């Protein structure tokens, strides 16, 4: 693991953060999860644009702007030295007085972590993961807008914890209307009669970069794709269900709440998109 912090790249166990940093105390900050594929950072400008928008939404100034973030990401990934990697880019409000008032924080901090990641085993990727509907709900956008990838990720943490306690791999989060928002750490796709469907951002789904890539790939492949509200039944009734995200990449779902999903393990649309995505990443990366 390599970490960029306080102006230099260090080993993971050397990285230190003041205990008075409001990112630690109050979850005050933003982050991005990115992937390195074939020594290229996948869709780096899109990630940085999203991070910049999230920072503006919470009134957080990024030291050096997006240009500084790009330099830091590439420098840290080069230091890590691997062809494939996961990147966690973080901007915190910085150190300040005890209390939630952000005006006491004068020096926002940039942290970039680069390491390997494997959320699911190859067996799980082949068979499909087990999904359960969790009891926590996704807050509406007028409470906490999901388009801001803030360091306050407790909603997803509790969803993931509940899923694991119930013996599942991932938690399905519904919004207050009872329709699908997303999984704890991934977007949700369902295929029915050859049509690809995914919940819109207005239902509480993060506008994921991998999600956007799959919609673009589907169009290029001639696969009909729609952003539409989905319920639990739509997933159980689907021919295929899968999740996408920077960490997960693409992973099929085998069951939801104990009910088998799909048609006997056959996933023609998933397989087609998975193969196309492997080629897509080669054309949308920033070289190290």
Structure tokens at 277: 């995505």
CB atoms within 10 A of CB 231: 14
Interatomic CA distance for residues 223 and 221, integer angstroms: 5
Q: Where are the beta strands (DSSP E) in 139-232?
A: 170-175, 180-183, 187-192, 195-198, 225-227
Structure tokens at 203: 């239902």
3-8, long-range: CB < 8 A, 24+ apart: 3/76, 3/111, 3/112, 3/113, 3/114, 4/72, 4/75, 4/76, 4/110, 4/111, 4/112, 5/109, 5/110, 5/111, 5/112, 6/109
Catalytic residue among 2, 124, 149, 282: 149
DSSP state of 21: B
Count each helix (H run) and each strand (E run) in the chain, helices first. Answer: 8, 16
Interstrand relation of 109-115 and 2-5 (parallel, antiparallel or unpaired): antiparallel
Interatomic CA distance for residues 137 and 151, integer angstroms: 18
Structure tokens at 88: 């966690």
Whether 149 is catalytic: yes
Active site residues: 149
């Amino acid at each position: 693991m390599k970490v960029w912090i306080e102006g230099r790249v260090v080993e993971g166990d050397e990285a230190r953060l003041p205990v008075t940093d409001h990112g630690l105390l109050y979850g005050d900050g933003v982050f991005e999860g990115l992937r390195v594929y074939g020594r290229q950072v996948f869709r780096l400008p899109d990630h940085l644009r999203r991070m910049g928008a999230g920072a503006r939404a919470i009134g957080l100034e990024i030291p050096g702007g997006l240009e500084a973030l790009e330099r830091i990401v590439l420098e840290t990934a080069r230091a890590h030295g691997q062809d494939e990697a996961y990147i966690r880019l973080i901007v915190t409000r910085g150190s300040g007085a005890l209390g939630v008032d952000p005006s006491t924080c004068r020096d926002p901090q940039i942290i970039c972590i680069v390491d390997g990641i494997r959320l699911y085993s190859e067996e799980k990727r082949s068979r499909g993961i087990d999904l359960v509907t969790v009891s926590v709900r996704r807050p509406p956008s007028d409470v906490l807008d999901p388009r801001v990838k803030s360091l306050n990720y407790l909603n997803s943490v509790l969803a993931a914890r509940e899923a694991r306690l119930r013996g599942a791999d991932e938690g399905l989060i519904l919004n207050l209307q009872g329709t699908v928002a997303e999984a704890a750490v991934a977007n949700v796709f369902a295929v029915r009669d050859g049509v690809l469907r995914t919940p819109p951002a207005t239902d509480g789904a993060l506008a994921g970069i991998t999600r956007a890539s799959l919609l673009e790939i589907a169009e290029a492949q001639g696969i009909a794709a729609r952003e539409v509200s989905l319920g639990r039944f739509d997933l159980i009734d689907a021919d295929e269900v899968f999740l996408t995200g920077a960490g997960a990449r693409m992973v099929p779902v085998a069951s939801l709440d104990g009910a088998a999903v799909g048609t006997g393990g056959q996933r023609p649309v998933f397989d087609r998109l998975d193969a196309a995505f492997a080629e897509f990443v080669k054309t949308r990366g920033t070289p190290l």
